[in-house]
Structure 1
């Protein structure tokens, strides 16, 4: 029988609505050069490698009467032309125009009657560049049984590898009787199936009650002539539209700051985010009274008690208070660094260079898992998700075309007006901001604040000598002149 959807995945589906589509997205920009990389080459590339991610040709099938969780079944009408789409910007397309296009596309939920993914080939960028936009539902990419499609499309060399595809034929569509029989077999053969069904059903009922209560509250507020109260600049009733902002910076700048002030590149990135949020809130006149912003930062760990992933480690949620009330950029950096000190000292943490060096590692899968981890932690009262993924520091290629840059487009959780994704790749650190179009109309200002926050940290290291780690300092003292 086909694999059954797990309760955690069913919870993600249940939380999805027109205002909170639960899919991840990534933008990758390529320089085709002489590779001839175009829409047709992309279709052939995906056809050649989709067998490595078989779930990308499956869809969800409900069980009659909901006596068990839905199952993954082969899509008997799978049409790659539906999933791999072509779009274009007016030449010469700018990054701003690309961001607008991406925002419109990621605002639309995926069609649940088909495999839960789409890829857009975007032409018309300046200098002859093209872009790929990957869009995949969170239940599709779990990093365990299924990785992101983008992970299997990229090569480490410009010579494309022709793998020949596969002679795939879909399995027969299961009948209602077969679905019921499978549910009975699973229940009798594994008691956890019945327990999962009870949990899923109970969870759906509770979510329905919660949703009804929220709607009732909005109606009461409307009758009273009052809008729902927003708890912070990062929360509110979401619209159905998004804003997307991409910011590209140099990795070497973060290393310079780290070498002088200590900590890690991850600490410097989070300190940059903290400084940017502070400056952005000041432009809004919203900083008064705010000292910290609680953020969840998914981190890679070695922990056998957590669910194993294909990334060579597990992913855990780390809560950090971003000190936006602190005026000094150096103090902000040290406070962020201290918040990760315990995590580092436990021995559970995985170094960025080790994670990026995993064979076949691509940031897209880590971002997808990070979004799932953040969604599971909603009850812990955080206001912002920041997913930072260290990517490879050498170029990657798709069908011979070099990937110039990559930007994550993280999803918004219900009630969250902003999410931030960060990817380091080939000497660059790229930020992807996803914001609600109505709640954060000034998302571009936040993007500019990121650049200014990094410059503010760089000003503190001009002319400063790099800090020598304690271990190297002791070794240097032993060397005789």
Structure 2
């Protein structure tokens, strides 16, 4: 058995504080041809389980949450709990698929079993089918989630060894572990304190200081909407090369363009203090790629939705992201999470529950950029044509955006609250329009 890290267990605590949310994150593969038989597909998934022991493990909590929850082998594991088959109604097009994805984002995973599910969509227009892979955020972040997804696809010639629980021994559960943590905390805390405080002060201030009121932040219901925006990755890189920006800068500038357009349509002025966005930052080392857990920190920049010119808007995004990185905010949060591992779990759990009940008004959206598979993927010999990322909403964030690269495509998967984002298509359209404007500007000859 291994303990859940503080951030992993935090996602379970957060889900428990709000009956309207489900914290499953997913990837949807659009696959060419017809699906395999049910027997063939189950055999392929079973092979994937052999490479990742976490998929056979469930979460067990301690009485009164005195110690951290642990992953333990499910003694009654049954693969049938985790695979479901369905088909779309005619015309079985992308609109119908997006409705199904939205429904999947609403459903909570069963905590009596390992926290993942695979849904096979047997029929999709254009001689295609789909595979929806969903896992609880306590098990995976964006990068480990895509690694999990790849593990259920066909393997290349080279195979990785079985990837079970992480190598380090986190067996400090039980009363002895609790006592040991209490003894060691005064010894380890000082070495973190100075760097954490220096970097964390601006993050804490950003998280609690309310921004200008906006319809992007507020109570959410149980139903979801889901839409997709697509862009050419070579064209994104062309824009970045022209304006000395990263792929992430270009993506965030396009998102800023989209929210600017949405606010205008809603009759709201896109002022400089209206859209603070949560941008997760991976702190996962390369040797932990196959470990199923969360290794993320975050930044909280304002998006420059008040700037009308798309090139100036991109420059502002680049400068703001660079400034936040220079402040060391992501590293400070990483250090804070490391220090949390030395605290008694009950303290951490109650702190997260309290934060979950606190109605935050400072953050209006979330955008996470995950590098997708570099190699072409297949499922039972069928080509994976594209991958659509999908993530949940919570904490009064009425929309979230997952950005994923695969082949020469960058896909923006946009999740919204059903009741408060009936215009969610405007976000997808705004992203594509924002990229088109930047691409056109990048191809205009510039006088040196």
Normalising TM by the smaller chain, what interval? 0.7 to 0.9
Higher normalized contact order (CA 8 Å, seq sep 6+, divided by chain length): 2
Structure 1 residues 73, 193: CA separation in 2 closer, same or farther (over 3 Å shift)?
farther
User: What is residue 458 of structure 1 aligned with on the other side?
Assistant: 439
Q: Deviations over 1:43-84 (max 9, x none)?
A: 211101212221211112233454433332221221111101
2:334 is matched with which residue? Answer: none
Aligned length: 387
3-state SS of paired residue (1:285): coil
CA distance in 1 between partners of 2:386 and 2:68 (Å): 39
Matches within 5 A, 1:39-188: 39-141=38-140, 148-155=147-154, 157=156, 183-187=174-178
Counterpart for residue 31 of structure 2? 30
Contact kept in structure 2, 1:37 and 1:400, CA below 8 Å: no
Q: Are 1:26 and 1:133, in contact at CA under 8 Å, matched by a contact in 2?
A: yes
Tell me if structure 2 keeps the 8 A contact 1:32–1:128.
Answer: yes
Change (3 A) 1:283 1:118: same
Look up the match of 1:252.
234
Deviation, 1:428, is 0.5
Instruction: Indicate conservation of the 8 Å contact 1:258/1:264, yes or no.
Output: yes
User: Given that residues 24 and 409 in structure 1 are in contact (C-alpha distance below 8 angstroms), is that contact kept between their aligned partners in structure 2?
Assistant: yes
Structure-to-structure mapping, 1:413-428, within 5 angstroms: 413-428=394-409
Bigger drift between 338-347 and 243-252 goes to 338-347
Structure 1 residues 326-385: Cα deviation after superposition (integer angstroms, max 9, x where no partner) = 110010011111123346779999xxxxxxxxxxxxxxxxxxxxxx9xx99x97933221
Cα separation, 2, equivalents of 1:243 and 1:103: 5
Distance 1:118 1:466 in 2: 55
Give the 3-state SS of the residue equivalent to 1:25 in structure 2: strand
Deviation at 1:139, TM superposition (A): 1.2
Q: In 1, distance between residues paired with 2:86 and 2:116?
A: 16
Contact 1:91 1:124 (C-alpha < 8 Å) held by counterparts = no
Please state how far the C-alpha of 1:136 moved relative to its aligned partner.
0.8
Give the drift of 1:123.
1.7
Asked if the contact 1:143–1:309 (Cα under 8 Å) also holds between the matched residues in 2, the reply is no
Supply the distance in 2 between the matched residues of 1:397 and 1:127 (Cα, whole angstroms): 17
* Distance in 2 separating the partners of 1:302 and 1:102: 28
Structure 2 residues without counterparts, runs of 5 or longer? 165-171, 186-211, 331-351
- State the Cα distance separating 1:433 from its structure 2 match: 0.3
TM-superposed deviation, 1:85: 0.7
Partner Cα distance (1:409, 1:457) in 2: 25
Q: 1:339 aligns with which of 310, 320, 323?
A: 320
Q: Distance in 2 between matches of 1:244 and 1:424?
A: 18
Instruction: Give the C-alpha shift of residue 137 in structure 1.
Output: 0.8
Secondary structure of the 1:121 match is strand
CA shift for structure 1 position 449: 1.6
Alignment of 1:387-426 (within 5 A): 387-426=368-407
Q: Distance in 2 between matches of 1:392 and 1:65?
A: 41
- Give 1:319 shift: 2.6
**Can you list the C-alpha shifts for 1:66-114, whole angstroms capped at 9, x where unaligned?**
4433332221221111101111112441111100011111101111111
Secondary structure of 2:420's aligned partner:
coil
Q: What's the offset of the Cα at 1:314?
A: 6.2
Task: Tell me the SS of whatever aligns to 1:335.
Answer: helix
The answer on whether the counterparts of 1:260 and 1:465 sit within 8 Å (CA) in structure 2 is no
Matched, 1:449 2:439: no
**Alpha-carbon offset, residue 182 of structure 1:** 6.9
Report deviation, 1:242: 0.8
Instruction: Compute the displacement of 1:128 (Å).
Output: 1.6
Relative to the length of structure 2, the TM-score reads 0.75
Spell out the pairing of 1:211-222 with structure 2 (5 A cutoff).
none
1-side partners of 2:81 and 2:54: how far apart? 16
Q: How many angstroms apart in 2 are the aligned matches of 1:164 and 1:40?
A: 25
Counterparts in 2 of 1:142 and 1:340: CA distance versus 1, 3 Å = closer
1:341–1:9: structure 2 CA closer, same or farther, 3 Å change rule? closer
